[in-house]
Amino acid sequence: MMYQFILLIHVFIGVFIIALVLVQQGKGATMGAAFGSGASQTVFGSRGSGSFLFRVTIGCAAIFFFTSMGLNSLTMHAYKQEKVINLPVPMTSPVSAPAQDKALSGEIPVRK
């Protein structure tokens, strides 16, 4: 359940980072130029949207990094649990021959 929740957040943050990067403009382009006017101010004020969007992008990148580490940790923990091999316990059966008793006990019969 925890793996699916972290994976959902991870995918959502990844898509959000892509959207944030596509929304950001280069240093030479302003929002006023995108709307066809020669104004040098942006929609977000005279300071521009760079600082706000940059901080949000860095925050999302940090969350993306931590969710990546969490998914890796959960996956490796589950993988290590699957690697444990439980061998079946040999069934004990009544043994009638003495040679079979020695073979089961690990002794090697000696021929004379």
Count of domains observed in the chain? 1
In a domain, 64, yes or no: yes
**Residue 87 and residue 69 in contact, taking contact as beta carbons nearer than 8 Å:** no
98 within domain boundaries? no
- Tens of pLDDT, residue by residue over 7-65, are 999 999 999 999 999 988 766 655 555 565 554 545 555 555 568 888 999 999 999 99
Asked if residue 8 is part of any domain, the answer here is yes
User: Within a domain: residue 94?
Assistant: no
Q: Domain containing 53: what range?
A: 2-24+41-76
Asked whether the whole model's pTM tops 0.85, one would answer no
pLDDT tens digit sequence for 57-95: 999 999 999 999 999 999 988 777 766 667 777 777 665
Q: Which helix (H) or strand (E) holds 16?
A: helix 2-23
Note the pLDDT of residue 34. 56
Instruction: Report if residue 14 sits inside a domain.
Output: yes
Specify if 7 maps to a domain: yes
Domain-embedded: residue 17: yes
